[in-house]
Structure 1
Amino acid sequence: MSGMDDAYANAAYIEGASDYPARWDEAAQSFRTSLGARADIGVPYGPSKRQVFDLFHPEGEPNGLLIFVHGGYWLRFDRSTWSHFAKGALAQGWAVAMPSYDLCPDVRIAGITQQIAQAVQVIAHRVPGPISLAGHSAGGHLVARMCAPGMLPSDVMSRIYHVMPISPLSDLEPLLQTSMNKDFQMDAGMAQAESPMAQPKPNTPVTVWVGGSERPAFLDQSMWLADAWGCDEVVAEGMHHFNVIDALADPHSDMIKRLTGNT
């Protein structure tokens, strides 16, 4: 493993890492089943099979909409692994949507960014009220990209209440030196264009969130974005890359309070 591959390797430094995906899948499936008719599964937002989203409805009229974008280095996973992390916002009366997207190398990262922009627009027109965006890892990159000028139409952007990149990848240049770039097929210009930290500071409230026990590279990536945008950064002590998102399932967590405004 090269030096940069090691720097961005999460599982190798998390005890029991291999157990997480199966545990997530089981919890997600159970959660979807428990919602019954309050779960709309596999709603299309684009032409490919992966351009679909799940939409979970609260009891009663929604107070707002949280859109969560999953990670996996733009190479793996889909929406179905993360459903149970909708618990926190749902309990606060917010609808929660989780889109899938096409993966590299079938598409480039810039193409995924455009897919998520389309997903946000389609989902926004299904649920009224304020919209918060949260994304984890590569998903953190994608929700941060939504803040770029012109990425979302003004009628959608004006509804954005909060954006939370969780353990995001904000500067893609280091990834050029990883073996993953064989699938990303990025050059320096593409990496610069897709790096959120190179974007103008957004007007919407942003909190960058990262686990205090994450790899130094991810602590750096989060700090770089917070510094570039002059926004809040929360370092969750003792949390690593795989459990930093657990707070999404807790309706009383600080993470959910920021995303929904409920105290």
Structure 2
Amino acid sequence: MQDPTAYYNAQFNARAAVPDHARIFTRWQKDSAHVRRTHAGLLDLAYGESAGERLDLFPASKRGAPLLVFIHGGWWRSLDKSDFSFIVPGYVRAGFNVALTNYTLAPTASLEEITRQQLRALAWLYRNAEQYDIDPSRIVVAGHSAGGHLAAMMLAAQWPRFADDLPADLVRGGVLLSGLYDLTPVQHADYVNVDLKLKTEHIGPLSPAFMPQAADAPFVTAVGGLESEEFKRQNALIGSVWKDRLTADVALPDRNHLTICDALAAPGDPLFDATVKLLEGLRAA
């Protein structure tokens, strides 16, 4: 039997699997800087007390529009919301508000605390929706890779238990991209777990695949055809355990673990179109 550490290190090391990953990151940063120069945005809004608890909000041109919240990946320990501003223009042109959230990176914060920070971010957006002309009854959360894990945790969140002023259906839909929903294998990927320090007792409470959806929100999944078998397994797993509300598993045969984010940003791409369809299908309260 293959050594699980070597196997999962290879399965999860997306940068090693994408030879031009440095060029992709540079392009994202350049395109995102251009978006922040040319689009109206409220940057670094504080949703909590720590320095990592900040979000960027790009408003729609019309009042009372739905909100798409994007949570970035990077194994919970790298990247920044500002790297993903390039996602914004297509959705704003389509009539939606877009928020990009940050969190304190591991190992400074534990995965439990990172998850709580995203709960605080979504709660802050809900509570301040009227101030920013957002429809609080039409909030959709999207996330990529580690952000896909966090987005799924938001779909599983018991919001009234987090705070009694929050509705059970605070999150009305989800877009889960190449996420991690069963954290059992992550313990074996030592190049990651050196920072996360996950132990067996953390797996159940932090694995959305082992939880029910909290409010039966419709959601979309996607994984790149060029990704590892483990990322494909994770994608199939969440689609299976939450199958009653899965509205689309978008096929992206030519995308890898990074360029799937380009698909999310590109009008006319099946992933972008599925996300818009999900947002448009939400009924205002």
The structure 1 residue matched to 2:232, chosen from 208, 219, 243, is 219
The structure 1 residue matched to 2:17, chosen from 2, 10, 13, is 13
Equivalent-residue separation in structure 2 for 1:211 and 1:39 (angstroms): 30
Cross-structure match for 2:189: 178
Equivalent-residue separation in structure 2 for 1:243 and 1:62 (angstroms): 31
Pairwise CA distance, 1:156: 4.7
Cross-structure match for 1:258: 277
The structure 2 residue matched to 1:228, chosen from 212, 233, 241, is 241
Equivalent-residue separation in structure 2 for 1:158 and 1:228 (angstroms): 19
Alignment of 1:67-86 (within 5 A): 67-86=69-88
The structure 1 residue matched to 2:60, chosen from 58, 61, 66, is 58
Cross-structure match for 1:163: 174
State whether structure 2 residue 103 is matched by structure 1 residue 134: no
Q: 1:41-67 CA distances to partner (integer Å, 9 max, x unpaired)?
A: 100011111110000012232421110
Q: 1:116-155 CA distances to partner (integer Å, 9 max, x unpaired)?
A: 0100111223333211110000000001001224146574
**CA 1:249 to 1:156, structure 2 compared with 1: closer, same or farther past 3 Å?**
farther
Cross-structure match for 1:187: 199
Equivalent-residue separation in structure 2 for 1:256 and 1:198 (angstroms): 25
Equivalent-residue separation in structure 1 for 2:189 and 2:68 (angstroms): 32
The structure 1 residue matched to 2:220, chosen from 198, 203, 207, is 207
**CA 1:132 to 1:9, structure 2 compared with 1: closer, same or farther past 3 Å?**
same
Equivalent-residue separation in structure 2 for 1:22 and 1:156 (angstroms): 40
Provide the identity percentage: 27
Amino acid at match of 1:20: I
Pairwise CA distance, 1:206: 1.5
Equivalent-residue separation in structure 1 for 2:140 and 2:85 (angstroms): 16
Q: 1:191-226 CA distances to partner (integer Å, 9 max, x unpaired)?
A: 221001001144111222111221111001101111
Contact 1:62 1:95 in 2 (8 A): no
Equivalent-residue separation in structure 1 for 2:254 and 2:156 (angstroms): 32
Contact 2:104 2:114 in 1 (8 A): yes
Pairwise CA distance, 1:68: 0.2
Moved more, 106-115 or 123-132: 123-132
Q: 1:39-97 CA distances to partner (integer Å, 9 max, x unpaired)?
A: 00100011111110000012232421110000000010111100110122111111100
Cross-structure match for 2:151: 143
Aligned length: 260
Equivalent-residue separation in structure 2 for 1:10 and 1:149 (angstroms): 28
Moved more, 12-21 or 24-33: 12-21
Structure 1's unaligned 5+ residue stretches are none
Q: Residue 210 of structure 1 aligns to a residue in which SS?
A: strand
Structure 2's unaligned 5+ residue stretches are none
RMSD of aligned C-alpha atoms?
1.8
Contact 1:135 1:166 in 2 (8 A): yes
Equivalent-residue separation in structure 1 for 2:213 and 2:47 (angstroms): 28
Q: Residue 156 of structure 2 aligns to a residue in which SS?
A: coil
The structure 2 residue matched to 1:248, chosen from 244, 264, 269, is 264
Q: Residue 107 of structure 2 aligns to a residue in which SS?
A: coil
What is the TM-score with the length of structure 2 in the denominator?
0.86
